[in-house]
Amino acid sequence: MKILLVYPETPPTYWSFKDALKFISKKAAEPPLGLITVAAMLPKDWEKKLIDMNVSKLKDEDLLWADYVFIGAMNVHLNSFREIVRRCNKLGIKVVAGGPLATTQFDDLLGVDHFILNEAEITLPMFLEDLEKGSPKQVYQSDEFPDISLTPVPLFELLDIKKYASMSVQYSRGCPYDCEFCSITMLNGRKPRTKSAEQFIRELNCLLELGYKGSISVVDDNFIGNKRKLKDEFLPALINWSREHNYIYNFITEVSINLADDDELMSMMIEAGFNSVFVGIETPNSDSLAECGKSQNLRRNLVDSVKKLQRAGFIVSGGFIVGFDNDTEKVFDEQFQFIQQSGITNAMVGLLNAPTGTKLYKRMKSEGRLLDMFSGNNMDASINFIPKMNYKTLIRGYSNLLHSIYSQKEYFRRVYEFLSEYRKPEWQSGKISLREIKAFLRLLWLLGIVERGKKYFWKLLFLTVFKYPEKFTTAMTLAVYGYHFRRVIRTV
C-alpha cells in the first residue's frame, strides 16, 4: 500500500502565529502529531508520505501516487478538508478520514470512503483488519478509551522538521473537568490516561536523533489532570533527562488554573523545562463561570493566580470567551480590565460556540437556539447558536474588545505588567542564536521603522535593556506575538 497522509490548511487564527513565524523563517507553528502517530500504527511495509498543507503544497501527482489518502483534521479545517476530498473524488483516489472534525461531524462530510472515528488506537486496527479481508466498512467508531501507554512513537521522520517553530508530543489525554462548552471530555474522557515517563522520553530521544533543537509543545488536554503521577513518576524522570541534556528543549503545555495552588508542582514543572502554559480563564464573570461549569475558576482571585504562575517562571497565555447567557454589556469592560491587570499578553478572546456533541450543543438544541455547523475558528466572529445578548451588541462589543487589548498602547502596557512579575527560569540560557539575531533585525525593521506606533516598541526595547536585561529575549518575543495578533484581528 501507498499511503499519503494529508493535513489541511489552517486559516489565520490566534494559534496559527502566521505573521510571527515570518520572523524566524518558519512555515507552521506545530506539526500534525495525530497524523504521524497514525502513520506509526500502519503496517511497517507500507509506503508513507506526509503533506502538511501549512508547509507545502498538495499536488495532484502526490494524490495520484497514493492508494489511499488519510486526512486528519480539526473543526477549523472544514473548508480545506472539503477541498482535499473534492480533489481526491475528482481523481478517483480513496479517502480515509479521522480526527475531531470527522468524529463530531462525519454525517455532514461527503465524499469520504472510510471514517476512522474516536481514538485510532482502537478503531484503526478494525479498519486494517477488514481492509485485509477485502470488506472495509464506511464508519468505524468506539465508545472505549484506549491505553495510550501502548501508543507507538510517532513517525517524526515524515516531517520536514526545519519548517516548524516547535515540535509536538503528548503525555496524557482527557481532563477531570467537564466544562459545558468543551468537547475534550466527549472525545477523550474525564479520567486522564497517560503515557509512561520512559515512553515520553523515548519520543524526546527520537527528536534528538533527528537533530531537532527548540521548543516542544506537550499537547495534552490538561497536563496536570493527574498530579500525583506527575510528581511521583513523570516529572522526576523528565527533570533528570533535561539536566543531562543541558535543557536542550523548553516545554509548552495547557493546564487548569489550579496549578497556581500547588507550589511543589509548579517548581517541578519549571525544573523539568516547562516555561509557558495556556490557561482557560474564560471570564471574570462568576455567574458565567458557574453557568458553564468552570468550577476550578470559581472562589479564587484569578488575577492573583495568574501572577503567581508568572512569578514561578511561566509565560501565561489565556483563553477568554464572551457570549455566555449570563454576560451583560458590562462583560466587555470586565474582560478588558482583567486582561490588562493580569499581564496576560497572549489573550485569546473568542465568541462562545457550541461544538457538536457537547453539553452546550445539546442544551442549545433543546432550547431551539442552535444554528448551523460549528466552524471551530476563534477568529471568524461566527456563533452557532442564538445568544441571550442582542447579537449586534455582542458582535460590536467583541470587536471593540479585541481592538482595544491589541492596540499597541494597551498591548505593550500588558507586556510591562508581565515583565514586572515574571521570574525567568534559572536554566534558561542567555545565549543568543544566529536565528534570534536575524529575527531581531527583522523586528527592528518592521516594528521599529515600518509599523505605525513604533514609539511603543522603542519604549519597550529601552525599558527592557535598562530594567530587565535578563528578560530581553522574552520581551522581544512578546513584541513579535503582538504584531501577529494585531494583524490577525484586522477583519474582526
Task: Give dist(CA 50, CA 159) in Å, integer.
Answer: 7
Domain assignment of residue 117, yes or no = yes
- Among 140, 170, 198, which residue terminates a domain? 140
Please report the pLDDT score of residue 278 as a whole number: 98
Whether 162 and 42 share a structural domain: no
Tell me the sheet residues that pair with 315: 276
Enumerate residues 6+ apart whose C-beta is below 8 A from 234.
171, 194, 197, 200
Whether 392 and 274 share a structural domain: yes
Per mean pLDDT, which range of 131-145, 177-191, 362-376 is the poorest? 362-376
The 10s digit of each residue's pLDDT in 425-464 is: 999 877 777 888 999 999 999 999 999 999 999 999 999 9
The C-alpha cell of 273 is what? 523545562
The 10s digit of each residue's pLDDT in 150-168 is: 999 999 999 999 999 999 9
Strand 47-52 to strand 94-98: parallel, antiparallel, or no bridges (unpaired)? unpaired
pLDDT of residue 40 exceeding 70, the answer is yes
Tell me the sheet residues that pair with 115: 97, 139
pLDDT of residue 380 exceeding 80, the answer is no
Domain assignment of residue 75, yes or no = yes
pLDDT of residue 378 exceeding 70, the answer is no
Whether 299 and 363 share a structural domain: yes
The 10s digit of each residue's pLDDT in 281-333 is: 999 999 999 999 999 999 999 999 999 999 999 999 999 999 999 999 999 99
Domain assignment of residue 458, yes or no = no
The whole domain housing 66 covers 2-140
Whether 59 and 203 share a structural domain: no
Please report the pLDDT score of residue 471 as a whole number: 95
Please report the pLDDT score of residue 14 as a whole number: 82
Domain assignment of residue 318, yes or no = yes
pLDDT of residue 346 exceeding 80, the answer is yes
Domain assignment of residue 457, yes or no = no
Whether 393 and 375 share a structural domain: yes
Whether 298 and 224 share a structural domain: yes
**Which CATH number goes with the domain that contains 353?**
3.80.30.20
**% pLDDT > 90, the chain:** 93
Whether 279 and 343 share a structural domain: yes
Please report the pLDDT score of residue 374 as a whole number: 73
The 10s digit of each residue's pLDDT in 210-245 is: 999 999 999 999 999 999 999 999 999 999 999 999
Domain assignment of residue 26, yes or no = yes
Mean pLDDT in residue range 26-31: 96
Mean pLDDT in residue range 362-383: 85
Number of domains in the chain: 2
pLDDT of residue 379 exceeding 90, the answer is no
The 10s digit of each residue's pLDDT in 117-139 is: 999 999 999 999 999 999 999 99
Strand positions, DSSP E, 104-213: 114-116, 139-140, 166-169, 172-173, 193-194
Domain assignment of residue 54, yes or no = yes
- Among 378, 396, 419, which residue terminates a domain? 419
Domain assignment of residue 487, yes or no = no
Whether 323 and 394 share a structural domain: yes
Whether 233 and 85 share a structural domain: no
Whether 108 and 198 share a structural domain: no
**Which CATH number goes with the domain that contains 41?**
3.40.50.280
Whether 66 and 96 share a structural domain: yes
Task: Give dist(CA 110, CA 130) in Å, integer.
Answer: 22
Mean pLDDT in residue range 329-356: 97
Higher pLDDT, 136 or 381: 136
Enumerate residues 6+ apart whose C-beta is below 8 A from 174.
145, 184, 185, 188, 189, 190, 191, 192, 193, 221, 222, 225
From residue 143, alpha-carbon distances to 38, 107, 117, 248, 489 in Å are: 19, 17, 10, 39, 38
DSSP helix/strand/coil, 100: helix
pLDDT of residue 17 exceeding 90, the answer is no
Enumerate residues 6+ apart whose C-beta is below 8 A from 281.
257, 297, 302, 306, 318, 319, 320, 338, 342, 344
Mean pLDDT in residue range 44-61: 98
Please report the pLDDT score of residue 491 as a whole number: 84
Whether 204 and 321 share a structural domain: yes
Please report the pLDDT score of residue 435 as a whole number: 82
Higher pLDDT, 373 or 148: 148
Q: How far is CA 303 from the centre of its chain?
A: 23
**% pLDDT > 70, the chain:** 100
pLDDT of residue 170 exceeding 70, the answer is yes
For 383, which DSSP code?
Answer: -
- Among 110, 140, 170, which residue terminates a domain? 140
